[in-house]
Structure 1
């Protein structure tokens, strides 16, 4: 990374972060999967709000986002990160099935497949985060076709993290990622089936009010109640609204209703678990176990024992 370029990208990022209410904590030289140099930015909230939390943003060292077609989405990404940093666990999300997951060790930016396939790849890891020490995780390899890549403004973290995380959650929902204590990388194919060119938006899961409500309660139970010491979590996260194919206003409306029922305390766009919600621990543990069981490979026991006709 040349000194001039480094100064340019740092200045641009620092300016964009400040507009989102973030501080640039540090900048370090990184290395992408293919050995290419990257710039790793550690971002945090202002000191009085930081609570010791930070998030990393890793960009190709030659990437220039200060352009009319790239800056708005970078600004939106940083604004979202500023609100996620107020969550007790900024790296954690839940699935529709009720699995609390931490997204970690993602190696941005994308790299071209080394197997000869016409795809872009990003590696990462998701861990089951339910407050227990069991080490269950899934190493993933998310692949984006060249056709799909044409939709994305840039194959960099701020422009892809949301749909990659949601594709991972969708793959878990379909029972196609297994959680193990060790294991090889598992594929997460991200194709144009997740994008409507007509509507110009990502589509992962069609949900109704009941499913969205169940999701919100599960999110607040796990991320606020179990993992966050009943600290508030961001309800109006556009990452969730994309995953559920709804709007942030709809999620807030539902949260307001549940606050009226005494299951959460709503403060603006954030909600915290109440004792009434935490009293449902057995229900959410059962959901977790059922969702986890759904991800495990099923074998035909009659065939294994030789009883089936071959």
Structure 2
């Protein structure tokens, strides 16, 4: 690894993180899937942040984001990360189908498929987060076509994490990822059907006010009530807005409606679960179990037997 290149990346990322209100707790040299050098950063709001309030960012050693077409999105990524790090579990999300999940062990950046397919791949793990230390998880192999890759400014984590996470949620909603105690990697295809070149935006799910309100209630129930001890969570997350095909402003407006019903305690863009929301436990657990049942298809029996090439 070039020491100068690594030092340049560390310096520029540390500066960008500081401007976003983040502290770089550590950096270490690593390698990507193809053994090319990367640097892994651990980010938090404060130097003494506990482990659950930290996020990892991995970048290619030679990556230079100080370019007009790259810097704005890196800046947005870091600012949004700073907001998520105020959540009790910044790695946790909820799907429309009702699954509380977390993302971990992603190996950035993308790498070319080794199976001969004309795609770029990133591997990671999605875990069920129901508050019971469940062993259920899905090892995923998210792929984007070469055509789709032309849309992405760079095959690096800050430019792809949001749409990859949302593609995973969409695939779970479709019942096409199975949560297992162990298993092989399962595919999450990301194609141009998720993107409008005309509008220059992603489309994952058509939702209306009712489904968005239900989503917010589930999110605050699981992320604040169950996983966070009723600590507040960010309800105007642009990542959720992309997934739901809406805006952060609309999510904030709907959260205010739920707060007026006594389900949230609202402070700015952060909402905490109330006893009234926690009283819906049976409803949300039933929805979660129904969603898990939907993720037990027969399509991946070959993968259970180890017949996969990703």
TM-score if structure 2 supplies the norm length?
0.94
2:25·2:47 contact (CA, 8 Å) conserved in 1?
no
Helix, strand or coil: the match of 1:78? helix
How many angstroms apart in 1 are the aligned matches of 2:62 and 2:121? Answer: 19
Residue 123 (structure 1) aligns with:
123
How many angstroms apart in 2 are the aligned matches of 1:288 and 1:114? Answer: 35
1:81-107 alpha-carbon deviations (Å, 9 max, x no partner): 001011000101000011000101101
The number of residue pairs the alignment matches comes to 298
1:4 is displaced (CA, Å) by: 1.5
Residue 4 (structure 2) aligns with:
4
2:21·2:82 contact (CA, 8 Å) conserved in 1?
yes
Q: Which runs of 5+ in 2 are unaligned?
A: 300-310
1:177-217 alpha-carbon deviations (Å, 9 max, x no partner): 00110111000000000000011000000100000000000
Residue 212 (structure 2) aligns with:
212
How many angstroms apart in 1 are the aligned matches of 2:2 and 2:50? Answer: 34
Residue 261 (structure 2) aligns with:
261
1:134 is displaced (CA, Å) by: 3.0
How many angstroms apart in 1 are the aligned matches of 2:84 and 2:98? Answer: 20
- 1:226 matched to 2:254? The reply is no
Helix, strand or coil: the match of 2:14? helix
Q: Which runs of 5+ in 1 are unaligned?
A: 300-310
1:47 is displaced (CA, Å) by: 4.0
- 1:184 matched to 2:184? The reply is yes
1:87-131 alpha-carbon deviations (Å, 9 max, x no partner): 000101000011000101101110000111111000000010001
How many angstroms apart in 2 are the aligned matches of 1:230 and 1:133? Answer: 18
Structure showing greater radius of gyration is 1
1:133 is displaced (CA, Å) by: 3.0
| RMSD between aligned residues | 1.1
How many angstroms apart in 2 are the aligned matches of 1:119 and 1:60? Answer: 19
Helix, strand or coil: the match of 1:213? helix
Residue 238 (structure 1) aligns with:
238
1:219-240 alpha-carbon deviations (Å, 9 max, x no partner): 0000000000000000010000
Helix, strand or coil: the match of 1:293? helix
1:50-91 alpha-carbon deviations (Å, 9 max, x no partner): 355211100111111111110100000000000101100010
Deviant stretches of 4+, over 4 Å: none
1:7 is displaced (CA, Å) by: 1.7
